[in-house]
Amino acid sequence: MQRLDYFSLAMPAFHHLLAVDQYCKKSSVDPTILRLVQIYASQINGCAFCVDIHCKEAKIAGERELRIYHVPIWEESPLFSEKEKAAFEWTKAVTLINQGPVPEELFQKMKQHFSEQEIVDLNMQIAFINLFNRFAATFKSVPGARDQALGLGKANLS
């Protein structure tokens, strides 16, 4: 059971954050990569609510289920491109920034696959999902609780 309704209690702030969400959705980064990053960061953060939502969104958007299942094992999986793997590695480094700075070598790898604008936009998405993970995980949002409101029943994953 969810501990409290943080969204209602901080609605003015969340309305502002929705503008960041819209920015991310319209950003220069391939939407497929953004969805994979949302899933992976949410997994790292142990946010079941967000993993649930973003897996369903990815399936509805046409992502192959096997690729969704392979997100936790992206390093060994042959299903992801080098660009996607760089995004996963970047996501891990940014999400776990408390474990040390993002290595220069990783930044250079990112520059091989992404423009400067894409790197900034990808970082914005990672920061944004990390923020939401911290609310949903802390207050124990229930996976599937927003399916109807978000139209996620179309994923047929219940």
- The pLDDT confidence band at residue 94, using thresholds 50, 70 and 90, is very high
Q: Which amino acid is at 90?
A: W
pLDDT class for 156, splitting at 50, 70, 90? Answer: confident
In which band, very low, low, confident or very high, does the pLDDT at 135 lie, cut at 50, 70 and 90? very high
Residue 141's pLDDT is what? 95
- Say if residues 142 and 148 touch (Cβ distance below 8 Å): no
| pTM (2 d.p.) | 0.95
Residues 25-35 have pLDDT tens digits of 999 999 999 99
Q: What is the mean pLDDT of residues 101-126?
A: 98
Q: Could you tell me the residue ranges of all domains in the chain? A: 16-155
Residue 1 DSSP SS3: coil
* Contact present, 63 and 35 (Cβ < 8 Å): yes
pLDDT of 13: 96
Q: Are 80 and 93 in contact (CB under 8 A)?
A: no
**Residue 72 burial (CB count, 10 A):** 14
What pLDDT, on the 0 to 100 scale, is given for residue 158? 66
> Quick one: fold of 16-155?
AhpD-like (1.20.1290)
Mean pLDDT in residue range 37-55:
98
Residue with tokens 């497929």: 32
